[in-house]
């Protein structure tokens, strides 16, 4: 550790927040402004939106102190002279009403940064190609294999490689991979951890340029790969936002129907998607049972007298919802097929909850069954677990 | 004030009426404007500061009888020569300061013919505030009383109530009853008799463009004192607060504005009792049940990153978050996309924020440029959807309610925290 940080580190500390997606910077300092101009104009790594705001209570506007209900209010109220309506604005913190057009206020600059991942990938590629002109892209992800002396290394933009093998622990242990990280705070957990996980924050790449990339890759080339499996459990990284947001967004997109459909999330229990099977029939069974349950609740029936459905009822409903059941090689009847589907649903749900560590959310099967006796013998009936309602 | 205004032009050859400006419109600037005429240069400067915009200049030109196109500067010079007319117009311009769009639009739509309205409407459909007020004033000065009352009304949050205990038909149609100032004044007087400690006075009845009526009463709240600007002497008196009662056409519902709500409700009760001739009439809070499922569906749409962004979450406060420590959690921001991404991250990683609506203290959604704060209280066994309407004009509130009802089947009402008859903490 040096006594005094090198200028490059200082610069990287300035640049790093400027690359954060959605970062709001009030009163940007001159050095931030000059870096923003470079990041936006020369490198295209971010796009910058400039707007203004005023302070709810501003010592520079003595009038604002006279009228304030809370003289200590720290509220900052966004106001754009060109686009703001002529009606008064309200402070979100104290509720005070402001008329910035009638009673002019001191406006301060605000900068809102949004990151552009495509340009970050292009920057990494330019660096990689400056080191090895014949670097080879690996698949569709922003990852490149390049030769450094006699060793081969891989450089990738981590943010573009989520969900690919390049981000996995096993791959990093086996191959010399350098992760360039744009969303540094999301991936903070992987920096400074295991020796085989090497990360280069995008800010440092911007400040140090190709030389920084060359130095980091050189360290990789000198390391002893592959690393042995760790003694303890493999380092599991925290879930990454874009991945989960995308998964949840996909679920919601599938659910989105014209008008509210109150029960369409019923195959999620305690926030865990329990029926993840790609088979639409499994989803359809759960949905149908949920719809029946919703109907019962609407009629005001209690848990004790919910309607139970037989396998035949469900098979008929499935016929309407997703088409006729196919007869498998085992020549099973429709009822047997439905029985099998329900066993699969229950097994999947149990596994999903166990994987998420939420077994406590459901003490029993997702779809419960009971045997009823009628004039032809016994018949098996099903209903959604009452604990879900 | 028993007359409905319309085409009673104020006499602009005489000095403005002090009582109208100072008392009815609460314009302390009346004295400033009158005394500013002593210094013609300062008066001319004040005219130039306040009277701006092409639409307003057109009114000035027609009042001066100028036919030819003239520059704004020449017009103002000519206006400064006509000191009496200039005083009238300057007072209107002073009145236009700090007035919202909605009250002006309300009265313009009620009062002015479409030909005039088209001339002062901007491309965005808004009226030029100053030009609209000049037209209204020159048509009939009493329109400005309506603007004054409605401006106060649009500014404040309301409490919705419905009529209970009413039996039989009113002895006179309610709409006819409530527009009769003598009847209404009597009701206010009855309410004052019942609450002798409260100083209540009837102010005016404002007709609305939907056939409803807005009753305005004055409440002198508490003792206060002010310094007179001329000699610095102390003036003792009462600070006033305006109370508003917006009745449904048949009187079965009313929106109350003013504090304490119990006092406003007492006035409303007296009106209903007098009209329905029944001592059992009283207004009770309007509670519209909502199902948890419909609220959940609404919250899902508000946190859907791909939904056409007509309503988007910008803030949520939960008492017991799904994070490991279950802390009280406030997520807020200005960009809906960022807040929604964070909500989805927390939901995808730790669990649902909205599963238990009792733990949701409030959410704020962005709709039509406003941040609406919604709460889902459960006083008793019914779940309600309430929103904070303070500071948002009533037109936008109606549009927001209609939007929630049309798209999510939710009947949202302004927050009734202050409604009488609620046990403490019932809305928590």
Token output for A80: 């754009």
Complex ipTM above 0.95?
A: no
Task: Tell me, yes or no, if A250 comes closer than 8 A to chain B by beta carbon.
Answer: no
First to last CA, chain A: 59
Helix (H) or strand (E) holding A310, with range, is strand A309-310
pLDDT of residue A387: 65
B390 contacts in chain A (CB < 8 Å): 95
State how far the Cα of B357 lies from the Cα of B256, in Å rounded to an integer: 28
If one counts every other C-beta atom within 10 angstroms of the C-beta of residue A54, the result is: 22
Cite the DSSP H helix spans in A209-279: 210-222, 241-255
Q: Which of A115, A143, A173 is at the close of a domain?
A: A115
* Dihedral angle over CA of A320, A323, A327, A329, nearest 10: -140
Confidence at B132, pLDDT banded by 50, 70, 90: very high
State how far the Cα of B410 lies from the Cα of B400, in Å rounded to an integer: 11
CB proximity list for B393: less than 8 A, separation 6 or greater: A87, B100, B101, B102, B103, B154, B155
Whether A87 and B100 lie within 8 Å, measured CB to CB: yes
Task: Tell me, yes or no, if A380 comes closer than 8 A to chain B by beta carbon.
Answer: no
State how far the Cα of B271 lies from the Cα of A229, in Å rounded to an integer: 83
Task: Of A155, A134, A135, A142, give the one whose Cα is nearest residue A219.
Answer: A155
State how far the Cα of B296 lies from the Cα of A94, in Å rounded to an integer: 29
CB proximity list for B100: less than 8 A, separation 6 or greater: A87, A88, B151, B154, B155, B393
In chain A, which residue's Cα lies nearest the Cα of B300?
Answer: A252
Angle at the Cα of A128 from the Cα atoms of A125 and A133, rounded to 5 degrees: 105
State how far the Cα of A41 lies from the Cα of B216, in Å rounded to an integer: 59
A92 contacts in chain B (CB < 8 Å): 332, 371
Minimum distance, in Å, between the CA of residue A260 and any CA atom of chain B = 6
Whether A270 and B338 lie within 8 Å, measured CB to CB: no
Q: Structural domain of residue A63, as residue ranges? A: 7-42+46-115
Whether A372 and A265 map to the same domain: the answer is yes
Neighbour-count burial of B181, counting CB atoms closer than 10 A to its CB (0-12 exposed, 13-18 middle, 19+ buried): middle
Stretch A109-121: mean pLDDT = 91
Is A63 in contact with B319 (CB distance < 8 Å)?
no
From edge to edge, which strands make up the β-sheet containing A108-115? A24-26, A108-115, A46-55, A76-78
Task: Tell me, yes or no, if A82 comes closer than 8 A to chain B by beta carbon.
Answer: no
First to last CA, chain B: 43
The neighbouring-strand residues paired with A153 are A146
pLDDT of residue A330: 63
State how far the Cα of B257 lies from the Cα of B155, in Å rounded to an integer: 10
Which one of B297, B301, B411 makes the best mutation probe of the A interface by having the most chain A beta carbons within 10 Å? Answer: B297
Minimum distance, in Å, between the CA of residue A200 and any CA atom of chain B = 24
Minimum distance, in Å, between the CA of residue B364 and any CA atom of chain A = 11
State how far the Cα of A77 lies from the Cα of A53, in Å rounded to an integer: 5
Tell me the per-residue pLDDT of A331-356, one tens digit each, with 9 for 90 and over: 667 778 888 888 888 888 888 788 77
B155 contacts in chain A (CB < 8 Å): 97
In chain B, which residue's Cα lies nearest the Cα of A361?
Answer: B351
The neighbouring-strand residues paired with B204 are B216
Task: Tell me, yes or no, if A249 comes closer than 8 A to chain B by beta carbon.
Answer: yes
Whether A265 and A383 map to the same domain: the answer is yes
Whether A102 and B97 lie within 8 Å, measured CB to CB: yes
Domain membership flag for residue A241: no
Q: Cα-flanking dihedrals φ and ψ of residue A240, to 5°?
A: -105, 135
pLDDT of residue A172: 82
Task: Tell me, yes or no, if A357 comes closer than 8 A to chain B by beta carbon.
Answer: no
Domain membership flag for residue A244: no
Whether B294 and A260 lie within 8 Å, measured CB to CB: yes
Whether A300 and A378 map to the same domain: the answer is yes
State how far the Cα of A133 lies from the Cα of A122, in Å rounded to an integer: 15
Whether A203 and A282 map to the same domain: the answer is no
Whether A247 and B348 lie within 8 Å, measured CB to CB: yes
State how far the Cα of B268 lies from the Cα of B290, in Å rounded to an integer: 27
Task: Tell me, yes or no, if A22 comes closer than 8 A to chain B by beta carbon.
Answer: yes
- Name the one residue in this structure whose structure tokens are 């009760």: B269
Stretch 184-203 of chain A: residues touching chain B, C-beta under 8 Å: none
Q: Which residue among A86, A249, A261 sits closest to B306, beta carbon to beta carbon?
A: A249
Q: Which residue among A78, A87, A261 sits closest to B297, beta carbon to beta carbon?
A: A261
If one counts every other C-beta atom within 10 angstroms of the C-beta of residue A94, the result is: 16
State how far the Cα of B282 lies from the Cα of B419, in Å rounded to an integer: 13
Minimum distance, in Å, between the CA of residue B203 and any CA atom of chain A = 26
- Using DSSP bridges, classify how beta strands B253-257 and B312-318 pair: parallel, antiparallel or unpaired: unpaired
State how far the Cα of B271 lies from the Cα of B186, in Å rounded to an integer: 9
Minimum distance, in Å, between the CA of residue A332 and any CA atom of chain B = 38
Stretch A361-386: mean pLDDT = 77
In chain B, which residue's Cα lies nearest the Cα of A241?
Answer: B345
Minimum distance, in Å, between the CA of residue A102 and any CA atom of chain B = 7
Whether B98 and A265 lie within 8 Å, measured CB to CB: no
* Dihedral angle over CA of B343, B344, B345, B346, nearest 10: 50
- Name the one residue in this structure whose structure tokens are 């479409």: B114
Whether A274 and A379 map to the same domain: the answer is yes
Stretch B177-202: mean pLDDT = 88
In chain B, which residue's Cα lies nearest the Cα of A263?
Answer: B293
pLDDT of residue A277: 53
pLDDT of residue B421: 41
Minimum distance, in Å, between the CA of residue A248 and any CA atom of chain B = 7
Q: Cα-flanking dihedrals φ and ψ of residue A34, to 5°?
A: -70, -35
Confidence at B415, pLDDT banded by 50, 70, 90: confident
Domain membership flag for residue A97: yes
Whether A260 and B297 lie within 8 Å, measured CB to CB: yes
pLDDT of residue B1: 42
Task: Tell me, yes or no, if A258 comes closer than 8 A to chain B by beta carbon.
Answer: no
- Name the one residue in this structure whose structure tokens are 């000059």: A34
pLDDT at B425 over 70: no
State how far the Cα of B33 lies from the Cα of B22, in Å rounded to an integer: 12
Tell me the per-residue pLDDT of B366-392, one tens digit each, with 9 for 90 and over: 998 889 999 998 887 788 999 988 788
Q: Which residue among B97, B101, B341 sits closest to A241, beta carbon to beta carbon?
A: B341
Minimum distance, in Å, between the CA of residue B388 and any CA atom of chain A = 11
Greatest alpha-carbon pair distance for chain B in Å reads: 76
Per-residue 3-state assignment (H helix, E strand, C coil) for chain B: CCCCCCCECCCCCCCCCHHHHHHHCCCCHHHHHHHHCCCHHHHHHHHHHHCCCHHHHHHHHHHHCCCCCCCHHHHHHHHHHCHHHHHHHHHHHHHHCCCCHHHHHHHHHHHCCHHHHHHHECCCCCECHHHHHHHHHHHECHHHHHHHHHHHHHHCCEEEEEEECCCCCCCCCHHHHHCCHHHHHHHHHHHHHHCCCCEEEEEEEEECCCCCEEEEEEEEEEEEEEECCCCCCEEEEEEEEEEEEEECCCCCEEEEECCCHHHHHHHHHHHHHHHHCCCCCEEEECCCECCHHHHHHHHHHHCCCCCCCCCEEEEEEECCCCCCCCCCEEEECCCHHHHHHHHHHHHHHCCCCCCCHHHEEEEEEEECCEEEEEECCCCCCCCEEEECCCCCCHHHHHHHHHHHHHHHCCCEEECCCCCCCCCCCCCC
- Name the one residue in this structure whose structure tokens are 């007709």: B207
Whether A108 and A26 map to the same domain: the answer is yes
> Domain residues of chain B, as ranges?
18-153, 158-285, 292-414
Whether B126 and A86 lie within 8 Å, measured CB to CB: yes
Which one of B104, B150, B290, B300 makes the best mutation probe of the A interface by having the most chain A beta carbons within 10 Å? Answer: B300
**DSSP letter assigned to residue A86:** S
Tell me the per-residue pLDDT of A244-289, one tens digit each, with 9 for 90 and over: 555 555 566 555 543 333 334 446 666 666 776 556 677 778 878 8
Task: Tell me, yes or no, if A360 comes closer than 8 A to chain B by beta carbon.
Answer: no
Q: Which residue among A247, A262, A270 sits closest to B297, beta carbon to beta carbon?
A: A262
pLDDT at A222 over 60: yes
The neighbouring-strand residues paired with A198 are A178
Whether A271 and B293 lie within 8 Å, measured CB to CB: no
- Name the one residue in this structure whose structure tokens are 């920096």: A191
Angle at the Cα of B91 from the Cα atoms of B66 and B55, rounded to 5 degrees: 45
SS3 A79: coil
Stretch B272-279: mean pLDDT = 87
Looking at the structure of chain A, the number of domains it has is 3
Share of chain A above pLDDT 90, in %: 20
pLDDT of residue B391: 80
Q: How many CB pairs under 8 A join A and B?
A: 89
State how far the Cα of B17 lies from the Cα of B284, in Å rounded to an integer: 42
pLDDT at B245 over 90: yes
State how far the Cα of B117 lies from the Cα of A366, in Å rounded to an integer: 64
pLDDT of residue A327: 60
Buried b (16+ CB within 10 A) or exposed e, B67-82: eeebebeebbebbbeb
Whether A249 and B304 lie within 8 Å, measured CB to CB: yes
Tell me the per-residue pLDDT of A277-328, one tens digit each, with 9 for 90 and over: 556 677 778 878 877 877 777 777 776 777 788 888 888 887 777 766 666 5
Q: Give chain B's contact residues with A (Cβ, < 8 Å).
A: 97-98, 100-102, 126, 129, 155, 291, 293-294, 296-298, 300-301, 303-307, 322, 332, 334-335, 337-338, 341, 344-345, 347-352, 355, 369, 371, 390-391, 393, 407-409
A85 contacts in chain B (CB < 8 Å): 101, 369
Calculate the average pLDDT of chain A.
79
**DSSP letter assigned to residue A115:** E
A273 contacts in chain B (CB < 8 Å): none
Confidence at B197, pLDDT banded by 50, 70, 90: confident
pLDDT of residue B210: 84
Which one of B293, B313, B350, B387 makes the best mutation probe of the A interface by having the most chain A beta carbons within 10 Å? Answer: B293
């Amino acid at each position: 550790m040096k006594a005094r940080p090198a200028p490059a580190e200082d610069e990287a500390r300035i640049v790093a927040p400027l690359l954060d997606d959605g970062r709001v910077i009030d009163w940007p300092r001159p050095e931030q402004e000059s870096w923003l101009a470079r990041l936006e104009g020369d490198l295209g790594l971010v796009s910058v939106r400039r707007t203004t705001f005023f302070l709810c209570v501003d010592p520079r506007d003595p009038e604002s102190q006279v009228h304030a209900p809370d003289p200590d209010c720290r509220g900052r109220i966004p106001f754009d002279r060109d686009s703001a309506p002529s009606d008064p604005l309200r402070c979100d913190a104290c509720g005070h009403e402001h008329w910035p057009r009638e009673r002019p206020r001191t406006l301060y600059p605000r900068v809102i940064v949004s990151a552009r991942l495509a340009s970050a990938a292009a920057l990494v590629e330019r660096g990689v190609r400056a080191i090895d002109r014949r670097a080879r892209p690996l698949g569709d992800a922003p990852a490149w294999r390049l030769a450094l002396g006699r060793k081969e290394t891989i450089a990738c933009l981590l943010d573009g490689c989520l969900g690919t093998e390049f981000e996995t622990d096993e791959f990093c242990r086996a191959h010399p991979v350098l992760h360039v990280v744009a969303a540094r705070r999301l991936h903070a957990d992987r920096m400074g951890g295991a020796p085989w996980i090497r990360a280069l924050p995008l800010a440092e790449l911007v400040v140090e340029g190709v030389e920084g990339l060359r130095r980091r890759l050189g360290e990789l080339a000198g390391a002893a790969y592959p690393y042995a499996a760790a003694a303890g459990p493999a380092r599991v990284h925290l879930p990454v936002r874009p991945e989960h947001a995308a998964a949840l967004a996909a679920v919601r997109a599938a659910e989105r129907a014209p008008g509210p459909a109150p029960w369409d999330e019923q195959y999620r229990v305690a926030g865990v998607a329990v029926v993840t099977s790609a088979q639409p029939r499994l989803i359809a069974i759960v949905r149908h049972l949920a719809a029946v349950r919703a109907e019962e609740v609407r009629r005001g029936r209690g848990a004790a007298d919910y309607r139970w459905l037989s396998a035949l009822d469900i098979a008929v409903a499935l016929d309407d919802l997703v088409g006729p059941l196919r007869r498998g090689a085992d020549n099973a009847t429709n009822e047997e097929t439905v029985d099998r589907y329900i066993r699969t649903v229950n097994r999947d749900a149990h596994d999903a909850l166990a994987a998420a560590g939420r077994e406590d959310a459901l003490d029993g099967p997702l779809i419960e069954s009971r045997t009823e006796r009628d004039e032809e013998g016994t018949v098996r009936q099903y209903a959604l677990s009452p604990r879900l309602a | 004030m028993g007359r409905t205004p319309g085409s009673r032009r104020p006499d602009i050859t005489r000095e403005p009426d002090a009582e109208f400006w100072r008392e009815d419109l609460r314009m302390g600037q009346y004295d400033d404007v009158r005394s500013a005429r002593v210094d013609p240069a300062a008066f001319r400067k004040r005219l130039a500061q306040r009277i701006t915009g092409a639409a307003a200049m057109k009114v000035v030109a027609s009042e001066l009888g100028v036919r030819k196109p003239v520059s704004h500067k020449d017009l103002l010079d000519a206006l400064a020569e006509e000191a009496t007319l200039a005083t009238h117009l300057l007072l209107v311009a002073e009145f236009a300061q700090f007035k919202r769009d909605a009250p002006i639009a309300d009265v313009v739509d009620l009062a002015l013919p479409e030909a005039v309205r088209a001339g002062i409407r901007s491309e965005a459909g808004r009226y030029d505030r100053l030009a609209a007020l000049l037209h209204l004033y020159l048509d009939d000065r009493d329109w400005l009383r309506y603007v004054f009352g409605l401006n106060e009304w649009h500014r404040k949050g309301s409490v919705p109530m419905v009529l209970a205990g009413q039996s039989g038909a009113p002895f006179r149609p309610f709409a006819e009853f409530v527009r009769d100032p003598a009847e209404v004044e009597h009701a206010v007087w009855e309410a004052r008799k019942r609450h002798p400690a409260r100083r209540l006075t009837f102010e005016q009845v404002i007709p609305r463009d939907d056939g409803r009526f807005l009753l305005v009463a004055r409440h002198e709240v508490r003792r206060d004192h002010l310094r007179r600007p001329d000699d610095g002497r102390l003036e003792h008196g009462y600070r006033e607060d305006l109370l508003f009662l917006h009745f449904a056409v048949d009187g079965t519902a009313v929106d109350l504005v003013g504090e304490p709500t119990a006092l406003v409700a007492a006035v409303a009760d007296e009106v209903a009792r007098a009209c329905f001739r029944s001592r059992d009439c009283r207004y009770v809070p309007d509670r519209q049940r909502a199902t948890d499922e419909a609220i959940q569906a609404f919250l899902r749409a508000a946190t859907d990153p791909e939904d056409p962004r007509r309503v988007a979450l910008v803030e949520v406060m939960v008492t017991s978050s799904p994070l490991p420590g279950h802390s009280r959690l406030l997520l807020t921001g200005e960009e809906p996309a960022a807040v929604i991404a964070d909500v989805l991250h927390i939901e995808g990683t730790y669990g649902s924020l909205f599963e238990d609506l009792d733990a949701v203290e409030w959410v704020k959604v962005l709709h039509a440029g406003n941040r609406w704060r919604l709460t889902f209280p459960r006083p008793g066994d019914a779940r309600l959807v309430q929103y904070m309407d303070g500071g948002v004009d009533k037109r936008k509130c109606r549009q927001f309610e209609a939007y929630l009802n049309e798209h999510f089947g939710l009947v949202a009402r302004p927050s009734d925290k202050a409604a009488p008859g609620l046990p403490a903490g019932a809305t928590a």
